[in-house]
Structure 1
Amino acid sequence: MDNFDRNILALMQRDASLSVGDIAERVALSKTACWRRIQKLEREGVIRARVALLNPEALDLGLTVYVSVRTNQHNENWATQFAAVIEHIPEVLEVYRMSGDLDYLIKAVVSDMPGYDRLYKKLIEANLFDVSSSFVMETMKQTTELPLEQQLA
């Protein structure tokens, strides 16, 4: 990956709706060369998807919750059941298996406290040992952009 690729990625991270022509012009490549690079980055899995980022508040999903989960069942059957439960809960945006005292960390969005209660009732179908939730009171920084600038040197 060279600086052309990194510059293309930086532009696409900020605005995936840019045309190939716009990107090519900004990175000083021909449209064809730029398009080939984008296709290669997609084939290699560097570009996973091109999506629209939605405003949760505008969709009545203004409460973000981080759910900490501990389990006392560290086996494949439980992990498969847990994965199946969370896969079918649309409010769940991200799930991470963690190191340390915490087994899993879940990020979800809901409309309000009753929405969280409905989410909680779905989650406990996975036979959880300990669940603790924290609610976002203020978003101080939020980005989907990976730090490519340090790679440009």
Structure 2
Amino acid sequence: MFDNFDLKLLNAMQEDADRTAEQLAEIIALSPSAIARRLRRLREEGHIAQTIALLPTAMADRRLRALVNIQLHDHAPAGGLAELKERMRALDQVQLCLEVSGTTDMLLLVASRDMAEFNAFADAELGSNPVVQRYETSFVKKEIKNRPMIRLDERDAQA
């Protein structure tokens, strides 16, 4: 269970995880030591999965990024699908991998240095994979927003 302070703290950390306990205390009505204790507890309980640095758009735009829609074979063996998912988790090029509903079964966000690197990825990981029936790629022209944040409110306190 979360209380209102936990929710505010989780929202603030999603906005900027570099803030110190003193800076967080300025926006959340708790002492810096209380903030530090709560952050430690939230991390220990797994409510803060990891803290990462997001690169600026200018750096991300130097990469060729692609959204890849994957359609799997209808009767793909469970083991093959598990291997594909594990492989996608392991590859640094795959920034996001989602299992989705509809005509597409999986959606990837892939970052490559250039088209040659993307083609090598697609051939090795998708084109030759017996679980993959087909895939379709759209290339990112420009990043408009990249903010992986989930705004929490009192409804999330019950979770």
TM-score band by shorter chain is 0.7 to 0.9
Identity of aligned residues (%): 26
Partners of 1:137 and 1:59 in 2: how far apart? 11
C-alpha displacement of 1:108: 0.9
Q: Which runs of 4+ in 1 moved over 4 A?
A: none
C-alpha displacement of 1:83: 2.3
Q: Is the 8 A contact 1:93 1:109 kept in 2?
A: yes
Q: Is the 8 A contact 1:81 1:126 kept in 2?
A: no
The SS at the match of 1:123 is helix
For 1:138, give the aligned amino acid.
K
C-alpha displacement of 1:87: 3.4
Aligned positions of 1:4-153 closer than 5 A: 4-55=5-56, 57-58=58-59, 61-72=62-73, 73-124=75-126, 125-127=128-130, 128-148=132-152, 151=153
C-alpha displacement of 1:37: 1.4
Q: Is the 8 A contact 2:61 2:142 kept in 1?
A: no
- Superposed CA RMSD in Å reads 2.2
Matched residue count: 151
For 1:11, give the aligned amino acid.
A
Partners of 1:106 and 1:130 in 2: how far apart? 13
C-alpha displacement of 1:46: 1.7
Highest RCO, 1 vs 2 (Cα 8 Å, sep ≥ 6): 2
Q: TM-score, normalised by structure 1?
A: 0.85
Unaligned 5+ residue runs, structure 2?
none
Unaligned 5+ residue runs, structure 1?
none
The SS at the match of 2:137 is strand
Q: Deviations over 1:87-144 (max 9, x none)?
A: 3422011111112211111111112222211221222242221111111112222212
